[in-house]
């Protein structure tokens, strides 16, 4: 994984000068701004810019002009209250911008989160790099028998090697034809002086979904937490989950009090339906309750039992 020469030059220019500001800054996040964090085999994520911090959230909630005489523990308590009671607007006062490099199939999952501003590298104007995501052998698995969106048992070594060979061969073959069609190599040099080549916007359709793309992605903290709550879930696809894990660590640096509240009430908590809540109340009253005693589907009942660390039926 690497940055382009233009991107490296930009980083050197930006880091060569320290800018004074009257707005809030976060030391822990400033320490890693522009720094590249590798993800997958050729991917990465880095923080480009941000606005606001924990104090901006409590300021918005109190509709005041500053922290005043409020204590840190009061700010923490307020953030916990906002998170616990699903208040959203105060968290939208903070924004962060990332530069992300990922396989196209990961980007297509990622773009489902429509509450962000995105500017992606365009293959209409640029030639995509000859870089493809090839999974580690241990991450290759068969289709899950009980989850139509997920992976099941691991493949045998021979079958996994066959799959890896197909992925590499097809990606290279398609990229070679991609270059041939628009008659340019990955450095922009003409391959055959006697051919014109088709437009880049047409040639790009031949690329495989494991080809890498890049974008800038700006999002507010509320919607970032929604992204994380879905993409950190064990059922989320491994590849996008690895990016979410890096973002979570960045959020921990950026808004530590919000991070703690998020982990406690969103990631570590559980949401119960009215039927589920009624079942829990009956259990607390000493009643023996089974699936046949409640108006819940078998799947919902088993999900509740998993939350309560009780045997599924």
Query: How crowded is the C-beta side of 233, counted as CA atoms within 13 Å?
Result: 12
DSSP code at position 18: P
Active site residue 231: yes
Say which of 46, 200, 204, 231 is annotated catalytic.
Answer: 231
- Other CB atoms within a 10 A radius of the CB of residue 295 amount to 10
Task: Please give the structure tokens belonging to residue 120.
Answer: 């992606």
Phi–psi pair at 48, nearest 5 degrees: -100, -40
By CB neighbour count within 10 A (0-12 exposed, 13-18 middle, 19+ buried), where does 87 fall?
A: middle
Residue whose tokens read 């809030």: 24
Assign residue 183 a region: left if phi > 0, alpha if psi is -120 to 50, beta otherwise? left
Task: Please give the structure tokens belonging to residue 36.
Answer: 């590249």
Active site residues: 231
């Amino acid at each position: 994984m690497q940055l382009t020469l233009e991107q490296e030059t930009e980083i050197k220019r930006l880091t060569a000068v320290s800018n004074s500001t009257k707005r809030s800054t976060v030391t822990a996040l400033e320490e890693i701004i522009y720094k590249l964090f590798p993800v997958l085999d050729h991917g990465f994520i880095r923080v480009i810019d941000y606005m606001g911090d924990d104090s901006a959230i409590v300021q918005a909630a109190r509709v005041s002009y500053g922290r005043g005489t409020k204590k840190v523990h009061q700010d923490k308590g307020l953030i916990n209250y906002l998170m616990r009671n699903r208040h959203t607007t105060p968290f939208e006062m903070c924004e962060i911008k990332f530069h992300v490099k990922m396989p196209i199939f990961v980007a297509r999952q990622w773009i489902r989160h429509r509450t962000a501003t995105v500017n992606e590298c365009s293959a209409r104007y640029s030639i995509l790099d000859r870089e493809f995501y090839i999974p580690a052998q241990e991450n290759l698995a068969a289709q899950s028998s009980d989850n139509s969106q997920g992976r099941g048992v691991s493949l045998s070594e021979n079958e996994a090697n066959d799959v890896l060979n197909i992925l590499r061969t097809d990606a290279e073959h398609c990229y070679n034809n991609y270059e041939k069609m628009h008659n340019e190599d990955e450095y922009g040099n003409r391959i055959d002086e006697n051919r014109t080549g088709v437009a880049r916007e047409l040639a790009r359709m031949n690329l495989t979904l494991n080809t890498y793309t890049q974008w800038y992605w700006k999002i507010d903290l509320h919607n970032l937490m929604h992204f994380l709550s879905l993409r950190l879930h064990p059922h989320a696809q491994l590849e996008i989950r690895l990016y979410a894990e890096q973002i979570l660590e960045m959020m921990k640096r950026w808004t530590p009090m919000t991070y703690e509240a998020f982990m406690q009430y969103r990631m570590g908590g559980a949401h119960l339906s009215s039927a589920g809540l009624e079942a829990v109340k009956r259990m607390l009253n000493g009643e023996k309750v089974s699936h046949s005693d409640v108006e819940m589907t078998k799947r919902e009942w088993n999900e509740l039992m998993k939350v309560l660390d009780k045997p599924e039926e």
